[in-house]
Structure 1
Amino acid sequence: MDADNHTGPHRFSMPAWISCAPYEQLLGMEILSAEAGEAILQMPFLKILAQGAGLMHGGALVSLADTAVVMAIKSVVAPGTHFATIAMENRFLRPVKKGIVQARAHVSERKDTILKGQCEIQDEAGRTVMTFASVFKIAKDAVVRDVRFGDAPTQNEAHRQG
């Protein structure tokens, strides 16, 4: 087996700035909306996402929440902006046994190159099964626009323009 073909680095292109990457597609995630710092995603509880007791794996739920916050962030930063999760915290409130879960995320704070997000995941009955908070860092010299505040250039963007 040629390790280079299987272990990366991997190159691929996504169909749009706000779209699911291969890992997110593997989990069955679907973006329902992503605009103005908010995003709604859903994911079915497929058998491949079950842990040993037959419940939805917590890692799958965390992946959904993290991705939902990412899509909320992508809705307020310029396409191509590089950013990454640097911290996250979650609380599991109840197990998921079946159905489709839905993540509702929003950007809760932005300061310079730091963005914070919040997400709640609910089961088909509308019960909250997990809460999630995360912190992201935008790479230096990235353009950030804020659609909630008139799309004014940030300090970094204004510096590059002026």
Structure 2
Amino acid sequence: MDMEGTLMEALGIELVKMTKGRVVMTMPVDERTRQPFGYLHGGASVALAETAASLGAAALIDPETELSFGLEINANHMKSKREGIVTATAEIEHHGRTTMVWTINIRDEEGALICLSRCTMAVVKKR
């Protein structure tokens, strides 16, 4: 996967594992992903969550005839974090013809839940 020039590169997001219906990714909590007060930026968590759901959805469509795009995302930020690594685990909850729904848990190194997100992906035909 070519990350050069993408948000994944800018935020230091890395793919750890991808299987059908499940994606695991990591992201550092550092100067790229902190808000001005020194804590993990909620937007960075959302970017990580949507990236994981997007890669998972892309793996489940026919790339010759279909595209997938984020349609909706929500996030509940449970705990703050100043440094280290967070790990997102995205799992598919619904795989329909035109939509997919993914649940994404973002946890710290100790397993504490940092962010709980749900992302709906649209599946559209290529024109």
Larger radius of gyration: 1
Q: CA RMSD in A?
A: 1.9
Instruction: Tell me if the contact between 1:20 and 1:31 (Cα under 8 Å) persists in the aligned partners.
Output: no
- Shift of the 30–77 alpha-carbon distance from structure 1 to 2, 3 Å rule, reads same
- What 5-or-longer segments of structure 2 have no aligned partner? none
Which residue number corresponds to residue 47 of structure 2? 63
**What TM-score comes out, normalization by structure 1 length?**
0.71
Indicate the SS of the match to 1:139: strand
Number of residue pairs matched by the alignment:
126
Query: Which amino acid in structure 2 is aligned with residue 42 of structure 1?
Result: T
Which residue number corresponds to residue 38 of structure 1? 22
Which residue number corresponds to residue 31 of structure 2? 47
Asked if residue 121 in structure 1 is aligned to residue 106 in structure 2, the reply is yes
Instruction: Tell me if the contact between 1:114 and 1:136 (Cα under 8 Å) persists in the aligned partners.
Output: yes
Which consecutive aligned stretches of 4+ in structure 1 deviate over 2 angstroms post-superposition?
A: 78-81
Query: Which amino acid in structure 1 is aligned with residue 15 of structure 2?
Result: I
Question: C-alpha offsets along residues 63-105 of structure 1, whole Å, 9 cap, x if unaligned?
Answer: 0011111122122223353111111111000001110000000
Aligned counterpart in structure 1 of residue 80 of structure 2, from 85, 95, 98: 95
Query: Which amino acid in structure 2 is aligned with residue 45 of structure 1?
Result: V
Which residue number corresponds to residue 112 of structure 1? 97
Which of 1 and 2 has higher RCO (CA within 8 Å, sep 6+)? 2
Distance (whole Å) between structure 2 residues aligned to residue 87 and residue 20 of structure 1: 26
Instruction: Tell me if the contact between 1:44 and 1:100 (Cα under 8 Å) persists in the aligned partners.
Output: yes
Richer in helix (by share): 1
- Shift of the 54–93 alpha-carbon distance from structure 1 to 2, 3 Å rule, reads same
Query: Which amino acid in structure 1 is aligned with residue 55 of structure 2?
Result: M
Query: Which amino acid in structure 1 is aligned with residue 67 of structure 2?
Result: H
- What 5-or-longer segments of structure 1 have no aligned partner? 1-13, 143-162
Shift of 1:141: 5.8
Query: Which amino acid in structure 1 is aligned with residue 84 of structure 2?
Result: G
- Shift of the 33–91 alpha-carbon distance from structure 1 to 2, 3 Å rule, reads same
Which residue number corresponds to residue 27 of structure 1? 11
Distance (whole Å) between structure 1 residues aligned to residue 118 and residue 87 of structure 2: 16
Instruction: Tell me if the contact between 2:72 and 2:119 (Cα under 8 Å) persists in the aligned partners.
Output: yes
Instruction: Tell me if the contact between 2:58 and 2:67 (Cα under 8 Å) persists in the aligned partners.
Output: no
